[in-house]
Amino acid sequence: MLLIECPWCGKRHETEFRYGGEAHIARPEKPEDLSDSEWANFLFMRTNTKGVFAERWYHANGCRQWFNALRHTVSHEFIGVYKMGEKPPVSVQGSEDR
Amino acid sequence: MTKYSIFSIARNAFSHHKNWPRQWRSPEPQKEYDVIIVGGGGHGLATAYYLAKEHGITNIAVLEKGWLGGGNTARNTTIVRSNYLWDESAAIYEKSLQLWEGLSQDINYNVMLSQRGVMNLAHSLGDVREGVRRVNANRLNGVDAEWLDADGVKEFCPIINVSKDARHPVLGATLQRRGGVARHDSVAWGYARAADMRGVDIIQNCEVTGITRDGGKVTGVETTRGFIGAKKVGLVAAGHSSVLASMADVRLPIDSHPLQALVSEPIKPVIDCVVMSGAVHVYVSQSDKGELVMGAGIDSFNSYGQRGSFHVIEHQLGACLELFPIFSRVRMMRSWGGIVDTCPDASPLVTKTPVEGLYVNAGWGTGGFKATPASGWCFAHTLARDEPHPLNAPFNLDRFTTGALIDEHGAAGVAH
């Protein structure tokens, strides 16, 4: 059972949240210029990190705000939460297990 | 190696069953192999077996970071069926069911296939239409399928609650009589023994830590037991597929999630079929030991932790009691989680990759156990011929670029 700290509401039960998957997948600036393989990469290909993972959560049964979180995908420990549009508080690359 | 038969049992009875030989060797890794299979679960071992049997390639190693069948092969709810909606899925899962039906004889190992019938319940008009459509699609594809109304459901599984007053009343069900369950450990052990008898090296406690390449072509793998050379490498690592593929800079459309299952205390025989419900979301069967075996959907978040959250179990038990009020006082004995590799279209990848000599068999998500024989059979063909068999050709990596997705979300008869 996860206890998730919403940046607005504080620590709440996991059942109040919806999961949004991998964070920081930027919407293409010029969608009309994308090749099929670039679309595939944007839409479907995922990092699926084993280790510290930047992901999105939505406080659906609360303040209804989206936010980002860093969470370890083996221990499930939350490293930190931060608002949409912000950079991760610690480097994700350097702390990966693999 | 002893062939298992009634005579070998009788012979060994004279020595009080103390002299049964080991089922497979535990060899030291050689310097190089023709094919290395990464992952010693059911799919990986089946791949090695069919490479040896169908394609005459026996210079193979199966590398397993833990022990054989200790991952999802040991953690699933052992349901076997082939009643998928789309042609591509029906073809590969039906091939699998046909292999299942002859498997115990083929590998001389009792996989305890019990074709007790699988029911997929319908709880709404939408479910009914979807179910009847799937029955028709199955029949057109040569897959046995029947539609049962609520009375038929009650007759087939008397303990089920078909009251009209239920919050999600049972309106009917699809039934595949050839579906059922098999013994999960036997599948891993049987394929391991059969592959080993044909000369395959099965190397346990050997984790792959890198995939070496030379000019875009695979040359071998780095492992915790040193470098092992290989002309071809097949990744069959379920939840860890993305981790392994990233070692060769291949990106996969896979997210890894926990999928939980649980068993009750053993009770007397009470349910002699498999019942699945995508709408209230639980699936139930009873093991030969008497335990009720249950599972449902994945935990929402990405994880490699082999455990999930309690509210997911709570939800599936709520669904279970909705269908089977008789179970209200049964105590649950244990629960566990496995890491499933989910694709965006809920269909697998059995495919070549952009890296020459590197092949991936992954993305089976929540339903891989039933596919074990055909998955190995098709992947062996792909590895041996360097091209997919027509059965697994649609399950390629390119479909995410071309858009030829095989959308089995819900279409498979149970929500994924």
Tens of pLDDT, residue by residue over B164-220, are: 998 899 999 999 999 999 999 999 999 999 999 999 999 999 999 999 999 999 999
What's the confidence (pLDDT) of residue A95?
Answer: 40
SS3 content of chain B, % helix, strand, coil (to 5): 30, 25, 45
Q: How far is B404 from chain A (nearest CA, A)?
A: 12
- How many CB pairs below 8 Å do chains A and B form together? 74
Best residue of B303, B309, B402 to probe chain A, by most A CBs closer than 10 Å: B303
What's the confidence (pLDDT) of residue B280?
Answer: 83
pLDDT band at A94 (very low <50, low <70, confident <90, very high): very low
Which of B63, B98, B353, B112 has the alpha carbon at shortest distance from B221? B63
What's the confidence (pLDDT) of residue A1?
Answer: 82
Best residue of B222, B224, B304 to probe chain A, by most A CBs closer than 10 Å: B304
Residue with tokens 């074990």: B372
What's the confidence (pLDDT) of residue A97?
Answer: 39
What's the confidence (pLDDT) of residue B111?
Answer: 97
Query: Using CA atoms, how far apart are residues B89 and B410, in angstroms rounded to an integer?
Result: 13
What's the confidence (pLDDT) of residue A50?
Answer: 97
Best residue of B222, B244, B255, B301 to probe chain A, by most A CBs closer than 10 Å: B301
Q: Is B303 in Cβ contact with A55 (below 8 Å)? A: no
What's the confidence (pLDDT) of residue B412?
Answer: 57
Judging by beta carbons within 10 Å of its beta carbon (0-12, 13-18, 19+), is residue B163 exposed, middle or buried?
A: exposed
Task: Output the six-digit token pair for B112.
Answer: 């305890």
What's the confidence (pLDDT) of residue B90?
Answer: 97
Q: Which residues of chain B have pLDDT under 50?
A: 416
- Contact assessment for residue B334 and residue B378, using Cβ atoms and an 8 Å cutoff: no
> What is the per-residue pLDDT across A45-83, written as a single tens digit (0 to 9) for each?
999 999 999 999 999 999 999 999 999 999 999 999 999
Residues 18-77 of A with CB under 8 A from B: 18-19, 21-22, 36-37, 39-41, 43-50, 53, 55, 71, 73-76
Q: At what angle do helices B184-197 and B42-55 cross, to 10 degrees?
A: 30
Compare CB distances from A73 to B247, B303, B403 and report the shortest one's residue.
B303
Compare CB distances from B300 to A19, A49, A74 and report the shortest one's residue.
A19
- Contact assessment for residue B306 and residue B336, using Cβ atoms and an 8 Å cutoff: yes
Query: Using CA atoms, how far apart are residues B77 and B166, in angstroms rounded to an integer?
Result: 26
Query: Using CA atoms, how far apart are residues B52 and B387, in angstroms rounded to an integer?
Result: 17
What's the confidence (pLDDT) of residue B71?
Answer: 94
Q: How far is A68 from chain B (nearest CA, A)?
A: 13
Residues of A in contact with B247 (CB under 8 A): 98
pTM of the model: 0.95
